[in-house]
Amino acid sequence: MPQVGIVLVSHSARLAEGAADLAAQVGGGTVTVLAAGGTDDGGLGTSADKVARALHSAEAGAGVLVLPDLGSAVLTVRALLADLTGASVVLADAPFVEGAVAATVTAAAGANLTAVAEAAEEAWHARKL
């Protein structure tokens, strides 16, 4: 059964890779969690090409959830989504790390794209103290 894929879009490649690694491990390694961080030349920023490649690679038939970190990452994803046709991609308004973990655990349980997005966005309410 296909699972929802997850793409983490950050201004920092290391931040995206670290969050993807954490989420993938918590999800038991069963969910595709891909990092799309930094610019093409390794600097801070976002790369539409990296995001597009990650979206394509994460799609396994159940859709893709995208979690961005900051403002221009959101703009980059929105611009890409405006040009996509027929793709089942949801942009979540969620905390980056907590949302990634919640989404991955939910996807690992076999939930659909709507439920995975809701889990990510519900992470805003997860208290630490």
State the sign of the Cα–Cα–Cα–Cα dihedral 65, 9, 24, 22. negative
11 catalytic per annotation = yes
Nearest to 3, CA basis, from 123, 118, 109, 121:
109
Dihedral sign (CA 88, 17, 11, 67): positive
Cβ neighbours of residue 2 closer than 8 Å, sequence gap 6 or more: 60, 61, 62
Q: Is 60 in a helix, a strand, or coil?
A: coil
Three-class SS state of 108:
helix
Do the beta carbons of residue 65 and residue 118 sit within 8 Å?
A: no
Catalytic residue among 11, 19, 101, 116: 11
Residues classed as catalytic = 11
